[in-house]
Each structure stands twice: as C-alpha cells, then as structure tokens.
A and B are shown apart, each in its own frame.
Chain A
Amino acid sequence: MWNDVWLVAGKDLRIEWRSRVTFSQVLPFALLVLVLFGFALDANRPVLDAATSGLFWITVLFVALTAVQRSTSLETTDGARRALLLAGVEPAAVFLGKALAVAVQLLFVEVVLVGGVIILYNAAVESFPLLVATLLAATIGIAATGTLLGALVAGVRARETVLPILLLPVLAPVLIGATRAFDDALGTAAVDGWAWLGLLAGFGMINVVLGALAYGVLLEET
C-alpha cells in the first residue's frame, strides 16, 4: 500500500511543482493576508501581538481551502477518480497520498508564514520544539480532514462554495488548539501549549484513520 501512497503523493506534488500555483499564487496570497491583518491591527500593537497566533492559523486555513480544492479537482476534472478505482489502487492509499501532498504544500507555506509573522509582526519564538510540533500536528489534521471532505463534496455541483462551509467549522478545534499552542511557543499568552498539542495530535490521528477507512466509500460513484 505504501508504494501507492508515494505514487499518488508524488504525482500530486509533481503536478503542483509544474503548475507553480502554490509558489506563485497561494504563497503571495497568504503573505498578503498577513500584511493586511497587520495594516488593520498595527495601530493597536498589543492587540496585534495577542492576535498573532490566531491570524497565522486563520491564514493557514485560507491556504488549506485552496490546496484542498486543487487536490480534489485533479481527480474530478477528467475522470481520474474513476480511473483510480479501475487501476485497483487502495482507496486508503489514495487518501493518504493526497493528504500527504496537501500537507507538504501547507508546511511549505507555513514555514514562509512563520518568517512573515517574525518579520512583519515582530514575533519572537520562545519554544522552537513546540512551534515545530504544532505545525506538524495541525497540518496533519488539516490535510486529512480537508482531503476527506474534499472527496465528500467532489460530486457536488457547487463544491467550491460547499467545501468552505463544511471544512471551516470542522477545523475549528484545530484553529483553537493550534492558536493556543502557538501562543505558548511565541510567548504571547500563559498557556500550556503542550497540552493543546495533545488535542491537535488526537484530532489528526482520528481524521487520518477516519479518512483511510471512509475514502473508499466516497470514491465510489454510486
């Protein structure tokens, strides 16, 4: 199964690399959002400091929506979803491969955004291990949930607008947990970030398992 996971992930990442959408469109969009949040709140510096973690993760969620939409459309545009079924690829492998590719794209953008909040918002990293662990755990949860819900709405006519309505509320625990953990990592609030990291890890694991089990049903045409 793992060969298929790498095969699907490699294919999605190669397509992303060729199209350069993440690099040339999504990344500038994400940085622009950070800059605009900065413009909106810079007059009140304490508010900006306190909101840095939340603004970071809201921006990540916007990026995740784009990444998941693109990942879903790769398989729905020209019948590739059906061809994957015919090829006999394990649905769990398709799910894990696609989630892995989304996660890699998100991590790339997140690393740049961390640099963005350090430079634009004057944020300081107090716990590097907590920051990295939060990025990894939250990204796994976002990618798994997004890939699963992307497949759920793949057959829906207005999936571009339905996906955010479904995905954003489901990702609320990630937003809360990742923001609290980041607050601790950046030293902007006195919270136990490692405890919130536990929530993120649990959320991620549940959605990875759920996705691997349910993706086959979602891939089926009827």
Chain B
Amino acid sequence: MSAPADSVTIVSIIRLRAAVALIGRFPALAGIDLEVGEGEVVLLQGPNGAGKSTLLRLCAGLVRLESGEGEVLGHDLRTSRPAIRRSVGLLGHDTALYDDLTVRENLEFWAAASRADVASVTPAMDRIGVADRLHDVSVGLLSAGQRRRVALAAVVVRRPQVWLLDEPHAGLDPDGRDLVDELVGDAARAGATVLVASHEVDRTLDLATRRVVVAGGTIVKDVADVE
C-alpha cells in the first residue's frame, strides 16, 4: 500500500544511541545520540578536538563503535561496516590520491575500485572545475587546493547516499568554496544525506537544515531549521 501523496515519511539514515568511539584509549566520542533523516544537511560545529572528525569516521564505518548502538542506512555499525563503507562518500583531511598518477588515472582507479561508472569521471572533473589541461597531469604537481578539488571529484563519482565532509572548504579558493556549497545543495536535493564538519559557519549555515554542536565528545546543542 502506498502512502498518501501529501504525507511526510521521515527515513532515518543515521541513528546513533549513546555511541562511544575510542581513538587509541581516548574516548573521542563519549555517548553521542544523533538521528539524521534523508535529505538533511547537518552542520557539525565545535572546537578542535571536539570529536567532529571521529563522528564522521564512525558514520563511515571506519572507526569501531565501542559501546552504544548505531545504524547507517539500516546497516548496523557493529556488524555491517563493509556495507556502510560502500554507501558513503567521505572527504577527510587526507585526499587519498597517488602523486605519480594523473588526475584522470586517480579518479578512474577510485571509480573502478568502488564499482562506480568509470565513464562518469570526465563529467565529474568538469563539474568540479578541474581544467582540461590538468586532466592528464600528475597529482603530485597540483596545488593543495587543486588536490582538494580532485578528492571532491572522487566523492562525486561515487554518487554516495551519505556525504560525510570534513572541512570541505579548507584550502579552496572562493570559487571552490562556492562549488562545495553547490555540490552539497545538489546532493541534498537528490535525496542524499549530508554531514558537514566546518569552521565556515556562515557559509555552511545557508545550506544546513540543522546545526549540531559537538564538544568533549558529546552533542551539546542540536538546533533544527537553522535558517
């Protein structure tokens, strides 16, 4: 039976209950409760070392859930981390690019590795604004900002259901920052869920449907409809 056309179905994409995650022996997340729905753009704020990056990595299935409960896209964070990893796109502090491969080779490698359409690499490079003359240039020759754009293109190529962006504006020029905003907007409109950890508060607030403040490994404020 289908739902009435005007009804609103809230699908929980990320669900954490009393989630604890350790970095070494340090409890980087000390009991997080968070529920994020489909199409939401959540801005994660907080001082350095608050646990924002660990929270993103936990949602990506890269950090083990030490205690508590957690699900991403219906997959349990304890038992189904490989399935979660395949469904999310994470832009972290590292770019995960190989210096001796060209921009195109890097993106084609990551597209093939993640079972994405290799044919989408060229459109992604165009979308991200990687100039044609740079497509076949070794990544090792690129500036930090250009590398960041290529890393972002690798996320775009994957077409993830959940975007996890850690300081996505860092190192980018004004055009690049605008581009990140456009991509986040496009992803949300397409139904993807986006978590953005950013110090660019004003810029990201325009896009965010919700603002979550993290401090000391816990959520201290969760404000919906920030606009």
Contact = CB atoms under 8 A, between A and B. Distances in A.
Interface of A: 4, 7-8, 11, 14-15, 18-19, 74, 77-80, 82-89, 220-222
A196 B110 CA distance: 42
Given A74-B98, A86-B88, A18 B114 contact: no
A88 B94 contact: no
A89 B101 contact: no
Contact of B100 (A19, A85, A222): A19
A79 B101 contact: no
A4 B22 CA distance: 31
Contacts of B74: none
Nearest to A216: B82
A86 B98 contact: no
A79 B90 CA distance: 11
B97 interface: yes
Contacts, number: 75
Nearest to B21: A222
A88 B114 contact: yes
Contacts of A88: 82, 85-86, 113-115
A99 B23 CA distance: 30
Contacts of B61: 86
B96 A7 contact: no
Given A7-B112, A14-B100, A14-B101, 11 more contacts: A14-B105, A78-B98, A79-B95, A80-B96, A82-B94, A83-B94, A86-B62, A86-B114, A88-B115, A89-B113, A220-B64
B22 A79 contact: no
B115 A78 contact: no
B212 interface: no
A88 B81 CA distance: 10
A32 B101 CA distance: 30
A19 B101 CA distance: 10
B64 A7 contact: no
Given A7-B109, A79-B96, A221-B63, A86 B90 contact: yes
Contacts of A84: 113
Nearest to A88: B86
B92 interface: yes
B138 interface: yes
A89 B115 CA distance: 9
A222 B22 contact: yes
Contacts of B109: 7, 11
Contacts of A11: 98, 101, 109
A146 B101 CA distance: 24
30 contacts: A4-B113, A7-B112, A7-B113, A8-B113, A11-B109, A14-B100, A14-B101, A14-B105, A15-B100, A18-B100, A78-B95, A78-B97, A79-B93, A79-B96, A80-B94, A80-B96, A80-B97, A82-B94, A83-B96, A83-B154, A85-B85, A86-B60, A86-B88, A86-B89, A86-B90, A86-B114, A88-B82, A88-B85, A88-B86, A222-B63
A86 B101 contact: no
Contacts of A83: 94, 96, 110, 154
A80 B100 CA distance: 13
Contacts of B110: 83, 87
Contacts of A8: 113
B41 to A, nearest CB: 21
A40 B95 CA distance: 48
A220 to B, nearest CB: 8
A18 B101 contact: yes
Contact of A80 (B57, B88, B98): B98
A220 B105 CA distance: 25
Nearest to A91: B82
Per CB-CB distance, the 10 closest pairs between chain A and chain B, nearest first, are: A79-B94, A83-B96, A88-B86, A87-B113, A87-B114, A18-B100, A15-B100, A79-B96, A80-B96, A86-B85
Nearest to A15: B100
B117 to A, nearest CB: 14
Contacts of B63: 221-222
